[in-house]
A and B are shown apart, each in its own frame.
Chain A
């Protein structure tokens, strides 16, 4: 087992991840073109049909085409995940960089608060935030985004501290560069890479959290299709139509696994030290 074989295996996993993620993102963008039916068209005569040539994945309890709904649901997942991860990334970067750059009591207070948020179980915190914000897809994005802030802030803080230890920052101070210039010109470019790598892993978790909230009825509201709420409503009909309990789950699995593999691959690529240990 030489190093080249390992990296070949790694790149194969990266490839699988890329294909899964591509599948989900393409479904999200071109849902209207790909989906054979409208995800909203009710046809009670056709309800709970098993997979057939007309309906490849069967129909749900309202006779809607399951394949079309699954494809359209990718849209919600990708949208929520993108917004939530962006909120977490930007918020976390701001807090982490501020804490590391100013240090002292600011650092202490900010990071203690982040630690506190991190000590809550993730889904529980999302649910409580939904209670405060009100149930809607937009608020689900905000709630999931807030959950990501502590993780990103920790990473941003560590990366900033690493940069600050370098000599050239001292040099920048000596030649009279302003705080703002040092932050944007020297620190930000060095902090952004680890954050983007982490964002890929956060994407997977965002897809999972969105599905969880929608499953509980706190995210996407029917008739809007989301893998979470499709699974939840399908559960009631599983004894007659087991595909309703399986198809949305596989879609979630593909989304989460894809982003996970891509995240792992990127992490390896950017951090050769981890390549050894993993």
Chain B
């Protein structure tokens, strides 16, 4: 099992490096744009040249990248063009907010998707399946930021049971923390659950038609035993692998959700970075969100692998 974990970790490093390169090139591809963004469009040529020299932007791109990467590995992501504060500590402060939101959203998505997907698969092509499929189709068409808006309208403005936005750390006030995070997590989680539900259903239908399910039924196992003991784990293995990737793809939604609910997370920083054209901030925060998603992917993938004895126990003797 340790070898499995080591292999996955080793594969993770080049992926992170490659994503950082793509982000760096994308942001820096237009020459001079950073200086114009920092100094305004009326900046004189001399001012731009001076700024670029100060910031090291007049060096070749690969030198800049290696410099940024090297410092980044030590936690130094430069200083903001806007407020001249160090970006690294800002990220460290904001990361827990985003991680908590992501975890809650992922849990909500799975709590909805796994049982409903299993129910639909078990009643394949019967009424329960059709109703659940329609629900999934409808949920899949709701934009997360609209769901957020409607939740605020109902729960914060009309019924007034939850605050509309803001943040309190869990360690200081756990109850307030949860009351502030429940709506953002629901907005992200419910919308993602639609896709996960479809995947879960398809995987379980596949598993339920396999020979070993017939074996279990031939032994006289009741349907709930067949599902629980024989089908669920097999379905979960593929579901987690596919589901994590798809959830990651949707996870960019944090940027909008954190903005709507005034959550001081990394996603909000991405938005601050682009609106202010603050490239060090944008680059570092976008990379952080990407790394969070990729790390979560890897973690889920690892869980799926550990659930699968074919990956853990190598074939011993022929």
Contacts and interface: CB of A to CB of B under 8 A. Distances in A.
Nearest to B191: A208
A104 interface: no
A211 B279 CA distance: 24
Interface string A128-155: 1111100000000000000000000000
Interface residues of A, number: 47
Contact of A120 (B19, B141, B157): B19
A1 B137 contact: no
A45 interface: no
Contacts of B273: 131
Nearest to A253: B141
A145 to B, nearest CB: 15
A68 to B, nearest CB: 20
A216 B259 contact: yes
Contact of A260 (B18, B19, B140, B249): B140
Nearest to A257: B141
B256 A123 contact: yes
Interface string B133-170: 00001101111011001101100011000000000000
B141 A204 contact: yes
Interface stretch (A158-166, A167-175, A234-242): A234-242
Interface stretch (A24-32, A85-93, A180-188, A244-252): A244-252
A127 interface: yes
A50 to B, nearest CB: 15
Interface stretch (B46-54, B215-223, B282-290): B282-290
A-side binding surface: helix, strand, loop or mixed? Answer: helix
Most buried by A among B145, B146, B205, B286: B146
B143 A208 contact: yes
A9 B130 CA distance: 10
B26 interface: yes
A4 to B, nearest CB: 13
A257 B249 contact: no
B1 interface: no
A278 B137 CA distance: 13
A127 B251 CA distance: 13
B202 A278 contact: yes
Contact of B275 (A6, A217, A245, A248): A217
A33 interface: no
Contacts of A242: 153, 157-158
B272 to A, nearest CB: 11
Interface string A249-263: 100110011001100
Contacts of A256: 140-143
Given A9-B130, A116-B18, A253-B141, A132 B125 contact: no
A239 B157 contact: yes
Interface of A: 1, 6, 9, 13, 116-132, 204, 208, 211-212, 215-218, 231, 235, 238-239, 242, 245-246, 248-249, 252-253, 256-257, 260-261, 264, 277-278
22 contacts: A1-B126, A13-B137, A116-B22, A118-B249, A120-B22, A120-B290, A121-B249, A124-B290, A131-B277, A215-B145, A216-B256, A217-B275, A235-B152, A238-B149, A238-B153, A242-B153, A245-B152, A245-B153, A249-B143, A252-B146, A257-B137, A277-B205
**Which are the 4 A-B pairs with shortest beta-carbon distances?**
A121-B252, A123-B252, A257-B141, A249-B146
